[in-house]
Structure 1
Amino acid sequence: MAHVQALPLAAFFSYFSVLFLTHFTSSESTGFSLKLIPIFSPESPLYPGNLSQSERIHKMFEISKARANYMASMSKPNAFQELEDIHLPMAKQDLFYSVEVNTGTPMKPQHLLFDTASSLVWTQCQPCIRCFDQTTPIFDPRASTTYSEIPCDDPLCRSPFKCQNGKCVYTRRYHVGDVTRGLASRETFAFPVRNGFTFVPRLAFGCSNDNSGFAFGGKISGILGFNASPLSLSSQLRNRIQGLFSYCLVREMEATSVIKFGRDADVRRRDLETTPILLSDLRPHFYLHLLEISIGRHIVRFPPGAFDIMRDGTGGFIIDTGTPVTFIRNGPYQTLMQRYDQILRSLGRQRIPYNASQEFDYCYRYDSSFKAYPSMTFHLQEADYIVQPENMYFIEPDRGRFCVAIQDDPKYSILGAWQQQNMLIIYDLNVPALRFGSENCANGRQ
């Protein structure tokens, strides 16, 4: 199948950059951060309790599979333009990270699911027509002095917003029966800095007062969309943060990590690798140009275009923190894992026959004396992304096995969060490019 040309990110943002410059009081660069709270942290509203290693692996497997289905629903060619018609499976267990932000004046804390595959920032609002269960107070815009509705004649009142009965509104369907509706709005959002907060006025968001089917519950009040589309948080902040944000995911993903913006993300290290960020006109994800993959010192070669974005919206190589485990698309996956199996067998590892109780296809007998686990290198355009052995395998001594932490998918290849641990990753939306390098992420937590 023919592939489509990936577009430079800057070209896509050109119109909306001008738009949002008119809405912010200043485009001065600011340094601030958000705490990324993984599901395994006791701080998380989604915390499932103190799970065993095997239970955690199973949970990540479930989230990853749900995540692949979630992103698959966005593959149709018009999905980018007609977000209202997308059906995305959504439940609180489908997303790995949450964040806490403050909205309104006076500030009110909100716990939102952090979604790098979603475009819209939204939270439940009073007065409710229908609201899902939320144990914390639901945001009431009538009590905020900085809240405003987006009028129908505003240039922002376009997909996914639309004018209806004199109001700029939206409908977002995440699954059959999972629907959020509300008013297209603006509000002041507050993000923490070292000595207080930085305030972002007039941030466009969805004030959702008609929600049905969601199984969030607890403290979760909505979703913070963070993909490459114009209404996501990363896009709306682009001018204020001079197009820079970064994160460094702490090992084992049970401790919190930090996503930094603007000056805080501007790290000057000469040893960082740099690769272009690509954007498809079909789906608003952050794509990288993957060429080849190596297992240890062994290069696995694929047919030309094996990781290109296809005309039906599938393919490509997406970097995504919301997917715990890396996916490789069918076809390349078979080639990669057959070579992986050959290498591990040559090192004396005995493969365990696959059965339905296994989360991963390629698992091997565990031996505590074995230390020669091979690394993996993703050969990107102009850069090599090296995944160290500790982030390439799930080791379960109590079950007598270790598994290669890669899954297959019929449509996509995704660089997941497990393979991003202890890696400083900087997004520069101006070039646009991704810069990255090995780092002890626990040292950078705030």
Structure 2
Amino acid sequence: MTNTATFHTCFVIASILSISLLCLSTTKASNEGFSVELIRHDHPSHSPLMNKAFGRFMRQFNEIDTAQSAITAGKGHHLMKVSFGNPPQDIYGIIDTGSDLVWAQCLPCDNCYKQINPKFDPQKSSTFKEIPCDKSKQCHQLDTAVCSSSNVCNYTYGYGGGSLTQGVLAQEAITFTSTQGQPISYNIVFGCGHNNTGTFNDQEMGLIGLGGGPISLISQLGDSIGGKKFSHCLTPFYTDPHITSKMSFGSGSEVLGDGVVSTTLVAKQDKTPYFVTLEGISVGNTLVPFNNSTQTLSKGNMFIDSGTPPIILPEDFYNRLVVEVRNQIQMEPIENDPELGPQLCYKTDKNLEGPILTAHFDGGADVELTPTQTFIPPPKDGVFCLSMTNTTSDVGIYGNFAQVNYLIGFDLDKGVVSFKQTDCTKQ
């Protein structure tokens, strides 16, 4: 994702549990990491940032835990529960590694989408402080921020599909509830959104940007939690809602042990996305290279995005991959179904027995993907569809359908991302 002058390819999940938590102030030793639970809740809804091919998928919510903060997940998306202000006001925000800004709908909401839960009211918080423009480093960390006539730092931040948030950058206390039940608070810069438009649903209260830019949550917290690093272990979207996923921040979030594979994060001018290099995907024992024989492989041809459900591949690569997948499944795919569209789908009375796909990342990081990660059942009973789609761009997205049942760690300081195959339902 890119930020607003250019628009983010963010895919949002939306749903919120009405769970209240008493958040008390707490002290915390410097450079300690923390973990939070993600709350899972099945809820049909449209996502403002989801690709149209996957917009028909119902959402469901998962819980995440580690040195963490509360997160809620939907089918292919995840929401984090945090609290802003003093006294704390609960917010459920979309977790997105493809964008940077942390924001919430704020009163007064001049032009806001409908929201079931109360919007954040800065007048009820003793710790809320608008950021001035002059001599303010935080204001200018966001390239779309502008100064108002009253010297307040205003912002505009956009996402793919035309959704955007506009408001005021402010400093505020943010409180996470760790997996050990302790409230942990920090001061961060966030967007108090007074004009928020797009296809957000009434249970989405904002967004938690976890990208690599200077204003993202992980960049702001890094010095206080033992480094700019975090990891998550996401359960498949059809898992029992009572089983939590986990997300960890800072010290203790490292992905270690047997079976870990790592690939290098590729630095580009846009610091937000986590670019990696995908050399190809094997279908069974057959390698389908990222580029055809006439093209040179470019570094950073994919980015890893928790806010995008499907894998999105450049059109030529996608077409070649689909042909090979079809060749290795001994069933006839569903054809000419207007509800399913052009997706590769199969109907079966039991789980689809598809081939193992292996994503080959630069540096020898081979990540095996079972049908659990590559075929997603849409609303139609007994129908499984390939959890991938295509794009005219030459850069693809490694979405979170493929990330389930892996402990995935992002280390911005070392410039690597690591994968460890894990049963995330047992973490």
Classify the TM-score, shorter chain: 0.7 to 0.9
Shift, 1:252, TM fit: 2.9
- 1:381 aligned residue (346, 362, 372): 362
Counterparts of 2:379 and 2:196, CA distance in 1: 43
Question: Aligned pair in 2 of structure 1 residues 137, 291: CA closer, same or farther (>3 Å)?
Answer: same
Question: Aligned pair in 2 of structure 1 residues 357, 379: CA closer, same or farther (>3 Å)?
Answer: same
Q: Kindly provide the amino acid, as one letter, of the partner of residue 243 in structure 1.
A: K
Shift, 1:141, TM fit: 2.3
Task: Report the 3-state secondary structure (helix = DSSP H, G, I; strand = E; otherwise coil) of the residue aligned with 1:268.
Answer: coil
Counterparts of 1:171 and 1:145, CA distance in 2: 25
Q: Kindly provide the amino acid, as one letter, of the partner of residue 33 in structure 2.
A: G
Counterparts of 2:362 and 2:278, CA distance in 1: 7
1:171 aligned residue: 156
Shift, 1:116, TM fit: 2.7
Counterparts of 2:75 and 2:213, CA distance in 1: 21
Task: Report the 3-state secondary structure (helix = DSSP H, G, I; strand = E; otherwise coil) of the residue aligned with 1:265.
Answer: coil
Question: Aligned pair in 2 of structure 1 residues 125, 212: CA closer, same or farther (>3 Å)?
Answer: closer
Q: Verify the 8 A CA contact 2:311 2:389 in the aligned structure 1.
A: yes
Q: Kindly provide the amino acid, as one letter, of the partner of residue 248 in structure 1.
A: C
Counterparts of 1:323 and 1:369, CA distance in 2: 24
2:63 aligned residue: none
Shift, 1:426, TM fit: 0.9
1:204 aligned residue: 189
Shift, 1:294, TM fit: 0.6
Question: Aligned pair in 2 of structure 1 residues 147, 376: CA closer, same or farther (>3 Å)?
Answer: same
Q: Verify the 8 A CA contact 1:63 1:96 in the aligned structure 2.
A: no
Q: Name the stretch that deviates more: 217-226 or 237-246.
A: 217-226
Question: Aligned pair in 2 of structure 1 residues 360, 265: CA closer, same or farther (>3 Å)?
Answer: farther
Question: Aligned pair in 2 of structure 1 residues 178, 407: CA closer, same or farther (>3 Å)?
Answer: closer
Shift, 1:331, TM fit: 0.8
Question: Aligned pair in 2 of structure 1 residues 281, 141: CA closer, same or farther (>3 Å)?
Answer: same
2:263 is aligned with 1:278: no
CA-to-aligned-CA distance 1:206-248 (integer Å, 9 cap, x gap): 1223x15345454433222222222111221222231221101
CA-to-aligned-CA distance 1:139-190 (integer Å, 9 cap, x gap): 2223322222212221222123222212221123458985533222111111
Q: Name the stretch that deviates more: 150-159 or 171-180.
A: 171-180
Q: Kindly provide the amino acid, as one letter, of the partner of residue 261 in structure 2.
A: E
Q: Kindly provide the amino acid, as one letter, of the partner of residue 292 in structure 2.
A: P
Q: Kindly provide the amino acid, as one letter, of the partner of residue 34 in structure 1.
A: V
Counterparts of 1:374 and 1:303, CA distance in 2: 22
Question: Aligned pair in 2 of structure 1 residues 351, 222: CA closer, same or farther (>3 Å)?
Answer: closer
2:425 aligned residue: 442
Q: Kindly provide the amino acid, as one letter, of the partner of residue 34 in structure 2.
A: F
Q: Which structure 2 segments of 5+ residues have no match? A: 1-26, 56-73
Shift, 1:417, TM fit: 1.4
**TM-score (norm. length: structure 2):** 0.76
Task: Report the 3-state secondary structure (helix = DSSP H, G, I; strand = E; otherwise coil) of the residue aligned with 1:29.
Answer: coil
Task: Report the 3-state secondary structure (helix = DSSP H, G, I; strand = E; otherwise coil) of the residue aligned with 1:335.
Answer: helix
Spell out the pairing of 1:172-191 with structure 2 (5 A cutoff): 172-174=157-159, 179-191=164-176
Max Rg structure: 1
Shift, 1:30, TM fit: 2.1
CA-to-aligned-CA distance 1:318-351 (integer Å, 9 cap, x gap): 211222221221111122222222333xxx3334
CA-to-aligned-CA distance 1:76-110 (integer Å, 9 cap, x gap): xxxxxxxxxxxxxxxxx998322210111121111
1:222 aligned residue: 206
CA-to-aligned-CA distance 1:336-390 (integer Å, 9 cap, x gap): 222222333xxx333443443324533346375984x210011111210111233
2:318 is aligned with 1:339: no
Q: Which structure 1 segments of 5+ residues have no match? A: 1-24, 50-58, 69-92, 310-314
1:251 aligned residue: 236
Question: Aligned pair in 2 of structure 1 residues 336, 369: CA closer, same or farther (>3 Å)?
Answer: closer
CA-to-aligned-CA distance 1:105-137 (integer Å, 9 cap, x gap): 121111222233222111222344444433333
Counterparts of 1:388 and 1:278, CA distance in 2: 26
Question: Aligned pair in 2 of structure 1 residues 169, 385: CA closer, same or farther (>3 Å)?
Answer: same
Q: Kindly provide the amino acid, as one letter, of the partner of residue 44 in structure 2.
A: P
Counterparts of 2:165 and 2:123, CA distance in 1: 20
Question: Aligned pair in 2 of structure 1 residues 67, 31: CA closer, same or farther (>3 Å)?
Answer: farther
Q: Name the stretch that deviates more: 426-435 or 393-402.
A: 393-402
Task: Report the 3-state secondary structure (helix = DSSP H, G, I; strand = E; otherwise coil) of the residue aligned with 1:172.
Answer: strand
2:98 aligned residue: 117
2:376 aligned residue: 394
2:237 is aligned with 1:237: no
Q: Verify the 8 A CA contact 2:53 2:389 in the aligned structure 1.
A: no
Shift, 1:298, TM fit: 1.4
Question: Aligned pair in 2 of structure 1 residues 181, 349: CA closer, same or farther (>3 Å)?
Answer: closer
Spell out the pairing of 1:43-54 with structure 2 (5 A cutoff): 47-48=43-44
1:31 aligned residue: 33
Identity %: 29
| RMSD of aligned alpha carbons | 3.4
2:281 is aligned with 1:293: yes
Q: Verify the 8 A CA contact 2:255 2:407 in the aligned structure 1.
A: no
Task: Report the 3-state secondary structure (helix = DSSP H, G, I; strand = E; otherwise coil) of the residue aligned with 2:265.
Answer: strand
Task: Report the 3-state secondary structure (helix = DSSP H, G, I; strand = E; otherwise coil) of the residue aligned with 1:418.
Answer: coil
2:8 aligned residue: none
**TM-score (norm. length: structure 1):** 0.73
Q: Verify the 8 A CA contact 2:358 2:367 in the aligned structure 1.
A: yes
Q: Which has the higher helix share?
A: 1
Q: Name the stretch that deviates more: 296-305 or 95-104.
A: 296-305
